[in-house]
């Protein structure tokens, strides 16, 4: 929306997607709010969809994206979820994130 108001401030996919490991960490913009919603039994679908995009972000010029793609390629989903999100298997959000990571890994 800001780009529509201020077209001279481009909001590129690379800028929005950069630092996916930070953005997918336990207390940042996706996992933090989604975990709070899950703990309250509320829907998390929109945040899970955004997390899916973050897990799929693959940009060779972003060191975190490169590391994330390496983890996805080399580690089992359980390791990726624990390492990247910090979620424990007994957390109510964990099963949904685990399935998401498995789908990303294909």
Q: How many CB atoms lie within 10 A of CB 106?
A: 5
Cβ atoms of 6 and 27 within 8 Å: the answer is: no
Q: Which domain holds residue 43?
A: 24-105
Tell me the pTM. 0.86
Has residue 58 been placed in a domain?
Answer: yes
Q: Would you say residue 4 lies in a domain?
A: no
Contact 20, 57 (CB under 8 A): yes
Q: What is the pLDDT along the chain (106 residues), one digit of tens a residue?
A: 444 566 666 776 566 556 899 999 999 989 999 999 999 999 999 999 999 999 999 999 999 999 999 999 999 999 999 999 999 999 999 999 999 999 999 9
**Given CA atoms 42, 45, 46, 47 in this order, what sign does their dihedral have?**
positive
Whether 17 is covered by a domain: the verdict is: no
Q: How many domains does the chain have?
A: 1
| Closest alpha carbon to 80 in 104, 61, 46 | 104
- Assign residue 85 the CATH number of its domain: 1.10.1040.10
Q: Is the dihedral of CA 65, 69, 71, 76 positive or negative?
A: positive
């Amino acid at each position: 929306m800001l780009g529509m108001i201020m077209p001279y401030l481009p909001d590129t996919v690379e800028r929005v997607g950069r630092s996916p490991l930070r953005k997918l960490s336990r207390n940042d913009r996706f996992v933090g709010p989604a975990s709070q919603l899950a703990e309250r039994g509320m829907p998390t679908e929109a945040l899970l969809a955004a997390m899916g995009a973050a897990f799929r972000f693959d940009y060779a010029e972003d060191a975190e994206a490169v590391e994330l793609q390496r983890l996805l390629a080399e580690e089992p989903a359980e390791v990726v979820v624990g390492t990247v999100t910090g979620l424990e298997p007994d957390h109510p959000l964990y099963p949904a994130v685990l399935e998401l990571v498995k789908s990303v890994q294909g």
